[in-house]
Amino acid sequence: MEFGERAIKKAIKLGMDEAEAYINKIKNVNIQFASEIQNIKTTESIGIGLRVAKGKKLAMQATSILNEKEIDSIVEKAVKIANVAPEDQHWNHFNKIFGKSEVTGTYDKTFDSLDYDKISEIILSSIDKATEEDRKVLVTRGVFTFTIGSSYVVNNYNKGVEDKYTVTSGSINCKAIEGGESSGSEGHICRKLSDLKLEDLSVIAAEKALKYLGAKPFESTKMPVIMKNDLFANILGIMLGYNINAENIQKGRSTFATKMDQQIASEDISVIDDGTMKDGVFTRSFDTDGTPTQKTKIISKGILKNILFDNYTALKGNTKSTGNANRNYWTTPNPTTNNLILQPGSTSLEDMIKDTKKGLFIENTIGEWLSRPTSGDLNATVTHGYLIENGEFTKPVTNVVIGGNIFDILLNKIEVLGNDLHNSFKVYSPSVKISEMTIAGK
């Protein structure tokens, strides 16, 4: 941390008007396994990112090598560049007032003394669980990770603030070994070790691999689609997350600039971004600008209420930061979602399926991230889906491409919101029923 103060002092001494240092430290244990443990690695990462401003001229330098000689040299290089850089006309200043919000559930103390033998035991038992009850599957890939991290921000206006956090993630892929090619995977990411049940993930992945044996594409058509919670969460994060980012809006990369206070979704739909959510995957007491996090209404009863700001975009837009700055130590901040939450409805997934005469239930897709949030055009290839006929699963489906437009879906096509809120990384969503999507098949 003293390196941050050193860098700022030196930058100011060399004629800079402002300076800011962000330091990120990570201790990570990562275990990879298949039908046996394959390797265990530990990583200690540290890095400092220094940003300096001379009037409206800016530069940024970062390094993972923390010694005095290196710190002094990155300051000198940043100063040299800031002195000759063209002005950023939209620059105001670094965050002048730091703060912290009240958050709970961001640090799990059991991470301080991880018992490797016990972790190995959990993994071996999870591998065994996959094949219990005579399931003919093979665990083909699994990852179990534990991260302890700390974020530290300091600038010439403020004393440094520090936040420590823990994150754990687990994922398992299984493959059926009889009756054809079929695989299944399940994963979870959360803050506390006790919330990650690797053995349960293993059973779900194994059952999924078997359930989808014999899955096939069908003829191209249009039909209703039910998307499972974590899948829709993922899609919402990609498509909505992009458009509520103030930088994308200010730069003309999103059409949301013209949609403020307008109906962009049906009345049943409300979305918030909550950096203070209890146990939330991305909950933190301040963002990477040192701004306290908060709860921000994004869509209320279908009306676009707010977008997400960091310090730079807020000052440029003459408003206040929503505490959404996010960055790596080697990049400049960008206003991205903290925990984005689509408020659930009251229907269970079972009922949603039961009430569907004909439709496609989708658990997993690939390539959904290739969709184009600018235009809202959504495409994804279904790897794990089930045809629903008269309220029941009839045929497993794979290799069909679904298509639609997210703006149209949110406004006109979300027929039912489930009651089963679940996360995909930092986006939380219930399962949803969409009245119609295009399906490209055989």
Q: Report in angstroms the alpha-carbon separations of 74 from 84, 95, 111, 392.
A: 16, 22, 33, 63
State both tokens at 144: 């179990």
Task: Check residue 41 for interaction with another protein (CB under 8 A).
Answer: yes
DSSP per-residue letters across 385-430: EEEEETTEEEEEE-SEEEEEEHHHIIIIIEEEEBS--EEETTEEE-
Residue 126 lies near another protein (rule: CB under 8 A): no
- Which residues fall within 8 angstroms of residue 257, CB to CB, at 6 or more apart? 249, 250
Question: What are the structure tokens assigned to 236, written together?
Answer: 């919402």
Overall residue count recorded for the chain in this entry: 442
**Among 1, 14, 77, 425, which residue interacts with another protein (rule: CB under 8 A)?**
77
State phi, psi for 143 to the nearest 5 degrees. Answer: -135, 135
Gap between the Cα atoms of 205 and 37, Å rounded: 18
214 in contact with another protein (CB under 8 A): no
Instruction: Name which of 200 and 408 has its Cβ closer to another protein.
Output: 408
Q: Among 14, 30, 100, 158, which residue sits at the site for another protein (rule: CB under 8 A)?
A: 30
Nearest approach, Cβ of residue 292 and another protein (Å): 25
Q: Are 153 and 161 in contact (CB under 8 A)?
A: yes
Between 99 and 396, name the residue whose CB sits nearer to another protein.
Answer: 396
Q: At what angle do helices 198-211 and 116-130 cross, to 10 degrees?
A: 20
Can you tell me which of 74, 198, 231, 265 binds another protein, judged by CB under 8 A?
74
Told to check if 324 binds another protein by CB under 8 A, we report: no
Question: Which amino acid does the sequence have at 196?
Answer: L
Stretch touching another protein by CB under 8 A, among 10-18, 84-92, 294-302, 347-355: 84-92
- Asked if residues 442 and 422 have their Cβ atoms less than 8 Å apart, the reply is no
Interface with another protein (CB under 8 A), residue from 117, 133, 178, 261: 117
Six-digit token string for 87: 């002005």
Alpha-carbon 11 to chain mean position = 34
Q: Give all strands (DSSP E) within 192-339, no chain letters.
A: 221-227, 271-274, 295-300, 303-304, 325-326, 334-335
| Residue carrying structure tokens 């919000």 | 101
58 in contact with another protein (CB under 8 A): yes
Q: Which of residues 294-313 bind another protein (CB under 8 A)?
A: none
32 scored as a contact of another protein (CB under 8 A): yes
Sole window of 191-199, 262-270, 362-370, 388-396 interacting with another protein (rule: CB under 8 A): 362-370
State the minimum distance, in angstroms, from the CB of residue 248 to another protein.
9
Cα separation of 414 and 268, whole Å?
A: 9
Which region, judged by CB under 8 A, interacts with another protein, from 261-269, 274-282, 335-343, 361-369? 361-369
Q: Compare residues 74 and 265 and give the one whose CB is closer to another protein.
A: 74
Residue with tokens 């055009």: 377
User: Rounded to the nearest whole angstrom, what is the least distance from the CB of residue 102 to another protein in the complex?
Assistant: 33
SS3 326: strand
Report 404-423 residues binding another protein (CB under 8 A).
404-405
Which range touches another protein (CB under 8 A), out of 44-52, 189-197, 267-275, 422-430? 44-52
Instruction: Indicate the residue among 6 and 77 with the shorter CB distance to another protein.
Output: 77
Paired strand residues for 185: 173
The site map against another protein for 226-255 (x = CB under 8 A) is -------------------------xxxxx
For residues 202 and 130, give the distance between their C-alpha atoms in angstroms, rounded to a whole number.
Answer: 5
Choosing from 89, 113, 318, 390, the residue that interacts with another protein (CB under 8 A) is: 89
Phi/psi at 261 (nearest 5 deg)?
60, 15
Choosing from 19, 23, 63, 269, the residue that interacts with another protein (CB under 8 A) is: 63
Nearer to another protein, 391 or 403 (CB): 403
Interacting residue with another protein among 398, 412, 419, 435 (CB under 8 A): 398
Interface region with another protein, contact rule CB under 8 A, candidates 14-22, 191-199, 274-282, 377-385: 377-385
Closest residue by Cα to residue 246 from 90, 368, 358, 380:
90
How many residues touch another protein under the rule CB under 8 A: the total is 88
Per-residue binding letters, 148-167, with another protein (x by CB under 8 A)? --------------------
